């Protein structure tokens, strides 16, 4: 069984993975100014994002959760 420090260190690592993946997806995303959308140009198995998916509009913001099946393979 993990002690408290090891548990939180693992959670911090997972949070860092998620943040790095989100930065990569949004840095490479296409901003469609006509439709006011942010569209993904890359895929992310970790965050379950497919290429061409709308990530954000003026009325919608996608919630990103980690795909647990992909975490085991990393």
pLDDT in tens, the chain (74 residues): 566 666 666 677 788 888 999 999 999 999 999 999 999 999 998 888 999 999 999 898 888 877 666 555 44
**How many distinct structural domains can be found in the chain?**
1
Residue 72 to residue 18: CA distance in whole angstroms: 14
| Digit-coded pLDDT (tens) for 32-50 | 999 999 999 999 988 889 9
Q: What is the residue range of 38's domain? A: 4-71
- For residue 63, give the DSSP letter: -
- What kind and span of H or E run contains 4? helix 4-27
Kindly report the pTM of this predicted structure: 0.70
Residue 7 to residue 43: CA distance in whole angstroms: 29
């Amino acid at each position: 069984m993990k002690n408290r420090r090891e548990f939180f260190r693992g959670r911090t690592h997972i949070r860092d993975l998620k943040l790095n993946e989100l930065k990569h997806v949004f840095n490479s995303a296409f901003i469609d100014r006509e439709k006011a959308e942010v569209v993904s140009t890359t895929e992310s198995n970790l965050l379950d994002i497919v290429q061409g998916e709308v990530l954000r509009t003026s009325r919608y913001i996608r919630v990103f959760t980690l795909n647990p099946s992909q975490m085991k393979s990393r």
